Structure 1
Amino acid sequence: MKADRPLRVWPLAARVLVRPGPVLRSLAGHGPLPSWQAVFLRFSLPLVLTSVILSQWLYGLMPPALPPESVPDPVGFGVYSVLAMTVGVAGLTLSAHYLVELFQGPTGPERAAMAVTLGLVPAWLGNVVAAFPWPWGNGLALALILYSLALLYVALRELLGLKRGNRIGLWAATLFSGAFITLVFGWALMDLIPGAAPELRLGTTWLI
């Protein structure tokens, strides 16, 4: 990846899915990355919106085999999903940025934001394929989420330049803190947005 070549969201997301190691190492030496605000607006937000729009469209084509009272309103749940995923990006980014000093790594919110965004690409794809019928949709979605966890580790390692002994610590701490922030705010958003939660939850949380 040449230093003077502009970074574009869709080619970068596609490449990091199939060749994560070389792409992330090249990105680490790319030079100054866009600001964290630009990373969010140009990379994170388009991916989140695409994931939610496609998943809701597929659920419209292939409704889940659930009672109507256990299915949330598509618009309300779509708005909730965008906000919850955005909170997830922010929570993981803030966690990685503020915790990296504890693990003797260089600070930089733009690198933390890019690492989190690229690490979450498989999970956002998993949100789309989860709309396909069970068990294929759920199985593929779970595999992509596990891939996303591994990719987040590689992205944090490459873009934040951590030493070998500190990489797993930052990864685990980032996941724990980011997940806690997402759960707290995501659960509150579910109750605040009309239609985000179904009338009957059937023992599920509906927090994606």
Structure 2
Amino acid sequence: MINPNRLTVEHTVLILLAAGRSQRYGDIGSKLDAEFLGKPLGLHVAVALESVPFMARLAIIDGAKLDYTPHGFETIHNDDPGEGMSRSVRLGVERARELGADAVLIALADMPRVTAAHILRMMDSAHGEDAVVASSDGSETKPPAIFGKGRFDYLMSLTGEKGAADMVKAGRHVVTNPAELIDVDTAEELEELRALVHDARAHTIRYDAATRDEGRRSD
């Protein structure tokens, strides 16, 4: 029997955070524009989720040269990315409210391995307007994350780089392959990811700082 309180993807707005100064990577916007598996890094999530019937898709952009409109996105310009990720979140949630969304799914454009299957499993775990459902690699909670409309006021109150860590930890967590939740902050990490996708161990091992250090010690 279908739970009448279950949130549906058709009433959920996807908010793709694609703004930021990419300071650890190099010049502004360069991270998302960088090539990965034949397309810009920042487009992978947009393409991967094209088949998911979201109510609407919002791309919060700044320095990247990418055009998200061919992938069904409304673009919103963050004119002050230096304020931190919270401003992008507020811009997205404000628009989602205007559209009458029951929930938002917040994803990061620098996580190119996220799949539609994982997002749909997350939606299956989202119940009620106060729902909070995050991704997990088995030890840490990470984006993407779903927030019911009862959490919108809290998301709108965030400032600077302050996130919703405490709220996320208290919510539901959907575990997936750690390799699916890798994010890219530096040029070095992008090179490591390029190598990882051609390594069969990517499907069986946790890939984190400890793994990288172990690999370097064995060289």
Short-chain TM bin? 0.3 to 0.5
Higher relative CO (Cα under 8 Å, sequence separation at least 6) belongs to 1
Structure with higher strand content: 2
* TM superposition score normalised by structure 2: 0.31
* TM superposition score normalised by structure 1: 0.32
